Structure 1
Amino acid sequence: MKQFQPARVLTELPTQFFASLVQKVNKVISAGHDVINLGQGNPDQPTPSHIVQALQEAAAEPIHHKYPPFRGRPDLKEAVAVFYEREYGVKIDPETEVAIIFGGKAGLIEMPICFTNPGDTILVPDPGYPDYWSGVALAQAKMEMMPLLAENDFLPDYSSIAPETADLAKLMFLNYPNNPTGAVATKEFFEETVAFANQHDILVVHDFAYGAIGFDGKKPVSYLEAEGAKETGIEIYTFSKTYNMAGWRIGFAVGNPSVIEAINLLQDHMYVSMFGAVQEAARQALLQPQDCVDELVAMYESRRAALVAACHEIGWHVKAPAGSFFAWLPVPEGYTSQTFADLLLEHAHVAVAPGIGFGEHGEGYVRVGLLHTEERIREAVSRIARLEIFQKPLTT
């Protein structure tokens, strides 16, 4: 069969690192082993029933069988504005400051395409969500990595970025609560970010995928809560984590009107909006009582406590994440993140995500998802304990 060669931009896309993890896990499963997969980022709970019911009822309405408005339903955008004022005290103009997007990932990948030209510089967190790299590659831009180090609470240190690099940067990705580290940002850090962005004329794109998931009674801070944030960028929010709607592929961007207009323009040419019934269900998710979100966060917090306690019992000195549904665990001496992950999968049948998959500064860690029951999490740590890697239990 004749083979057609794809465009160079496709051949230069980054390798999907986690596709290889899935293959390794499936190989062990096919050999008949019970694998506890802590390496995934896929929510394990169903979408709340009232949201599902809203979809079912809306799907029967003939109005939703037609093409929906190109730029999303106005009543969904109004719901987004209500949600942001209620949750964060931020006023949003639904007509000019909201774009409906096909999941958070799509919005993130669209940003470099909308705002950079080939060769332009984009500041990217390291470690960070690997799909940032995909958008950079599609735009044929280049990345300058911002190290996220434990000694700086996994926040970028803007003073360490060379002024000439900052002046060249057109766009910057941030993500708090953070994937993969579980770190959170403060309003003061976001105010510092606004000042840095203004000084160097940088568009800030804050990935707020885990915006609902904060622990110890602390609500994650929205970038838009910082004074002047709307002047410097946008925030991208997804329904996937807050409402367990990962398979529904819906999210939104809020913030600077010129950025929102560019997103809408690109999507005008790529899509004809999304199924109206999905938009109606999303609207109900935002406007109905948020008890389901509170219950979800409490469940993740209980799982976090179970993981940390179990790790400490076997002598694995880990720190509890402050947000997200991930924990960022240090690799024991003598291993790389990849060799440690391979060891756990092959000999304990526990899958974790090696930190190197998130960038150079992810080395030395593995990412663990709080996406199994407490019983399965404790079982995973018990299996690891039997490898006798951690010899000295912690004392309190």
Structure 2
Amino acid sequence: MLYYLIKTNAGGNTLTHSSAKQKWRSDKLAHLGSSIFAEVAATKAEVRKSGIEVIDLGIGSPDRGPSYKIRAALSEAVLREDSYSYPASKGSAAFRRQAAEWMNWRFAVEVDPEEEMVALMGSQDGLAHLAQAVCNPGDLAIVPDPGYPIYSGALALAGVRAWTLPLLEENAFRPDLEQIPEEVWREAVFILLSFPGNPISVTADLPYMTRLIELARKWDVLVVHDLAYSELGFDGYRPISILEVPGALDTAVEFHSFSKSFNMAGCRIGFMTGNRTAVGALRELKSNVDYGVFGPVQEAAVVALEQAMASAPDEGVSKMYEQRRNVFVEALAREGWTVRLPEATMFIWAKLPEAYGVNVEAGRSRRFAHELLLATGVAVIPGDAFGQQGEGYVRIALVEEEERLLEAARRMGIFLRRNGC
């Protein structure tokens, strides 16, 4: 039997559905920037059905797993019966202590694991929630363009306005702090930057970081530094921490991730450290929305940090990605496509060949990525998925072995020649 329910208010009048009720979909979802990844995934499925082998250089998911020692620690902890109680949302004391020790070993930075550290379900967890923890709806935050999609997506979820700081090729893609208007500094609650960044592996030195902290302290703005790629520097470059700047703890926090540094992407663990007020705010928010990272994952992360501290600087993942970068960029050059050599991360930010889509006024990046995938099976992400300034570029992830990267470059070369490039 079919029943129809009519809702009424206290006065007996029939209540009308809101537009959100009718759609069962929040308008905020339109601002999250994840639609392009779903589009690429759907096209990959279509290409596979056609019989073309896909080489996926789109999503930045490591193609290798963590070390045996890390996996063994995780396995042993999972088998213990006492591992299945609720973990603390702020992270175990052992994890926070080890993360603080690693910060001191890696960057000569001292942080208090009790008040200046919070564990995260991957750095994206913290990036997604921070604006809700430190801002009110209607506040203003400064974010880069292009930038990792959750930067602006988190603001949409929190009802926070975004002032986008363009990353321009003429500035070597480094954000020009002096171009931020005083009225923006005066109104902003925080500024979010990433060195080295995603999608562009732009880097910053200590003088730049020092100037950033000076401006933040002058205008009472929180600096949020995403350092997810701290262990993926090339050619002798080692990324630095914003907390290395004297006095940075007064006005800065920093995100760290185990996903890329230790090939633990699926484990979902990271941490935020720095200013205790901001850390405390995120802790308080997270204590109301989750119960923390699974205990065995935290134990495995402790082993990862211990292993890193006992190893030589060149024994991590950076050498592998540096070699892949060299092989792939050289192969692309032989195919006639010269791209910028990244100084860090697992990504190449590639400017489209001038000859491609010359009659297309907008949407060149999406058209290129879509046609490349359909024709060759090589998946990349169009640059405009990361912001308006990304138009004319694509992001390529070095997440395949060298042999596969060489094959991807060969297919790209065929595609470019067919398109008159």
Query: 1:373 aligned to 2:392?
Result: no
- Displacement of 1:337 after TM fit? 1.2
Q: 1:201 aligns with which of 199, 205, 220?
A: 220
**Alpha-carbon shift at residue 7 of structure 1 (Å):** 7.1
Unaligned runs of 5+ in 1: none
2:290 aligns to what? 271
TM, length-normalised to structure 1: 0.94
1:298 is aligned to 2:319:
yes
> Bigger CA drift: 137-146 or 154-163?
154-163
Q: Is the 8 A contact 1:76 1:282 kept in 2?
A: yes
1:261-292 alpha-carbon deviations (Å, 9 max, x no partner): 11111111112222211111111111123469
Maintained 8 Å contact 2:243/2:249: yes
Q: CA deviation at 1:392?
A: 11
Amino acid aligned to 2:108: G
Please name the residue that 1:307 is paired with.
328
Which residue in the other structure is 2:91 paired with?
72
Q: State the 1:69 CA deviation.
A: 3.1
> Quick one: structure 1 residues 59 and 389, their matched pair in 2 at CA, closer, same or farther if it must change by over 3 Å?
same
Q: Deviation of residue 131 (structure 1)?
A: 1.1
1:101-140 to structure 2, matched below 5 A, reads: 101-140=120-159
CA offset digits 1:9-39 (Å, max 9, x no partner): 6455434121111111221112211111111
1:14 counterpart = 2:35: no
Instruction: Give the TM-score taking structure 2 as reference length.
Output: 0.89
Query: Are 1:332 and 2:350 counterparts?
Result: no
1:163 aligns with 2:182: yes
Q: Is the 8 A contact 1:212 1:293 kept in 2?
A: no
Give 1:6 shift: 4.2
- Give the number of equivalent residue pairs: 393
Question: 1:61 offset after TM fit, Å?
Answer: 2.8
> Of 3, 25, 30, which residue of structure 1 is paired with 2:49?
30
The change in CA–CA distance for 1:377 and 1:7 in structure 2 (over 3 A counts) is closer
Instruction: Say yes or no: does 1:221 pair with 2:240.
Output: yes
Root mean square deviation, CA, Å: 2.1
The Cα offsets for residues 79-117 of structure 1, whole Å up to 9 and x where unpaired, read as 011100111110111111110111110100111101111
Runs of at least 5 residues in structure 2 that lack an aligned partner in the other structure? 5-20, 358-363
Conserved 8 A contact 1:329-1:366: yes
Match of 1:344 in 2: 372
Give the CA deviation at 1:67: 2.3
Q: 1:303: how far off? A: 0.3
2:16 counterpart residue number: none
Are residues 1:287 and 2:315 paired? no
For residues 71 and 146 of structure 1, the distance between their equivalents in structure 2, rounded to whole angstroms, comes to 32
Q: For the Cα contact (< 8 Å) 1:148–1:156, is it kept in 2?
A: yes
More displaced 10-residue stretch of structure 1: 281-290 or 355-364:
281-290
Distance 1:222 1:390 in 2: 45
Alignment of 1:47 onto 2:95: no
Shift in alpha-carbon separation, 1:296–1:387, aligned structure 2, 3 A: same
Equivalent residue letter for 1:250: I
Larger radius of gyration: 2
More displaced, 57-66 or 111-120? 57-66
Q: Tell me the secondary structure at the aligned position of residue 67 of structure 1.
A: coil
How far apart are the structure 2 equivalents of 1:369 and 1:210? 13
- 2-side partners of 1:83 and 1:225: how far apart? 14
Aligned equivalents of 2:416, 2:289: Cα separation in 1: 53
Q: CA deviation at 1:158?
A: 1.3
**How many Å apart are 1:389 and its aligned residue?**
3.5
Q: Tell me if the contact between 1:97 and 1:257 (Cα under 8 Å) persists in the aligned partners.
A: yes
